[in-house]
Amino acid sequence: MVEKRPEQKIRHVGYAEYEKMLERLLKQLNEFIQIETKKGKSFSGLYGLPRGGLPIAVHLSHHLNLPLFLEAKENCIVIDDISDSGKTLLKYKDKYPIATIFCKKKTLVVPDVYLEMVLEEDWINFPWENVKE
């Protein structure tokens, strides 16, 4: 888990914005799956990284009709909220497709699917998090 630095600006993502992001991510991930399926790839399910990726993976699992796994398994897609430093996602890179909502410019792992590239100065605060300003 990455700690907020004092110089970082907090970007609060409310539930309404989060819901719109989930729909956009669902659309992009569905397109990614269709393209990969045409190449002969199949997907067994989704693995959401505990804490940030789990609520996103639950939503996507329901809408994509793919099972939700408690650990990364063969042919699954790894889901997280943000690829910040990328250290958390490093062990999944090159083994599994990765999808996130946000990606930082200096991350070690650029996901296969993401919605928005954000600056290093941005600290994303999702609705379920408790971040002190």
How do residues 26-41 score in pLDDT, each as one tens digit?
999 999 999 999 999 9
User: What pLDDT score does 67 carry?
Assistant: 98
User: What pLDDT score does 58 carry?
Assistant: 96
Task: Over range 55-69, report the average pLDDT.
Answer: 96
Give the confidence band of 18 by pLDDT, cuts at 50, 70, 90: very high
pLDDT per position as a tens digit, 80-123: 999 999 999 999 999 999 999 999 999 999 999 999 999 877 88
Answering whether pTM is above 0.75, one says yes
**Which residues are paired to 100 by β-bridges?**
80, 114
- Asked if residue 132 has pLDDT above 70, the reply is no
How many angstroms separate the CA atoms of 79 and 54, rounded?
7
Give the start-to-end residue ranges of the domains of the chain. Answer: 9-125
Task: Over range 74-81, report the average pLDDT.
Answer: 97
- Looking at 3.50.50.60, 3.40.50.2020, 3.40.50.880, 3.30.590.20, the CATH number of the domain 9-125 comes to 3.40.50.2020
How many angstroms separate the CA atoms of 32 and 62, rounded?
17
Q: Do 114 and 83 meet the contact criterion of CB atoms below 8 Å apart? A: yes
Higher per-residue confidence, 8 vs 93 = 93
